[in-house]
């Protein structure tokens, strides 16, 4: 009951998502393996199952949860694969597209760790906006990872996410050099999530007992500068492959 009061209450937004009612959904077992790949076909961390957005009324934050068939291999990723999972959407204001939004988890071997970033790419004027966020991942079968960020700062720029593309892709990159061998899962959805009219809970009284801090694992608020620090050859390869998948 408490969780329902804080996350995803039915009267919070008509667009509110949940694990049972996600904004993006796909059946298990839909990973596309490259013709050139001869290894085991158990890279289930690429298998997108569901993605949904929820409003935390207590903290006035938005949480994006990304569920895949298995996250356990991401705890100790292979040094030979560059892995990236992301949710991209149109970013809207008053019904007009003003840019795009991206929540992304990546592992590049030379970085040696999982890195998350949430960014807005605004159209007029053209600029990147790094969104401060927390990141949590649970390592298990049918595991998930989530990004959570404040709603109020976004309201100066927009009020809705629309048209979602969820993708997980990996490129065989021994010694950090990408090859033509890649595996991926790509899912599209025409759903939307409006956050401009969401109502947070009233602030607690000054004399009330403060809530306990929540320790999270894997937080990284890397923005565009973090992306720029990666070798352009891998970043461009990932973007090119995702562009090809969008045209399929």
User: pLDDT tens for residues 11-38?
Assistant: 445 689 999 999 999 999 999 999 999 9
pLDDT score at 109: 84
Q: 178: which residues sit within 8 A by CB, 6+ positions away?
A: 82, 171, 172, 233, 234, 237
pLDDT score at 112: 82
Q: Token pair 């039915």 is at which residue? A: 10
Sheet holding 96-107, edge to edge: 32-33, 182-194, 160-172, 81-93, 96-107, 114-123, 126-130
Question: Total structural domains in the chain?
Answer: 1
Buried b (16+ CB within 10 A) or exposed e, 150-168: ebeebeeebbbbbebbbbb
Domain range spanning residue 35? Answer: 2-247
Q: Which residues of the chain have pLDDT under 70?
A: 1-14, 203-248
């Amino acid at each position: 009951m408490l969780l329902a009061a804080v996350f995803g209450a039915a009267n919070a937004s008509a667009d509110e998502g949940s694990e049972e009612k996600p904004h993006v959904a796909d059946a298990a077992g839909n990973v596309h393996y490259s013709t050139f790949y001869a290894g085991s076909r158990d890279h289930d961390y690429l298998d997108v199952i569901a993605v949904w957005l929820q409003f935390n009324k207590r903290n006035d934050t938005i949480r994006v949860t990304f569920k895949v068939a298995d996250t356990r291999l991401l705890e100790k990723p292979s040094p030979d694969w560059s892995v990236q999972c992301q949710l991209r959407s149109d970013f809207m204001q008053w019904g007009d597209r003003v840019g795009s939004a991206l929540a992304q988890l990546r592992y590049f071997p030379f970085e040696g760790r999982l890195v998350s970033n949430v960014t807005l790419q605004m159209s007029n004027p053209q600029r990147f906006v790094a969104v401060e966020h927390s990141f949590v991942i649970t390592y298990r079968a049918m595991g998930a990872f989530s990004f959570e960020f404040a709603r109020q700062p976004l309201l100066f720029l927009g009020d809705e996410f629309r048209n979602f593309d969820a993708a997980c892709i990996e490129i065989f990159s021994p010694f950090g050099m990408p090859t033509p061998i890649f595996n991926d899962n790509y899912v599209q959805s025409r759903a939307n999530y409006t956050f401009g009219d969401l109502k947070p809970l009233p602030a607690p009284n000054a004399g009330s007992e403060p809530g306990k801090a929540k320790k999270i694992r894997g937080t990284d608020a890397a923005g565009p500068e973090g992306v720029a620090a990666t070798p352009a050859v891998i970043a461009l390869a990932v973007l090119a492959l995702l562009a090809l998948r969008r045209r399929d």
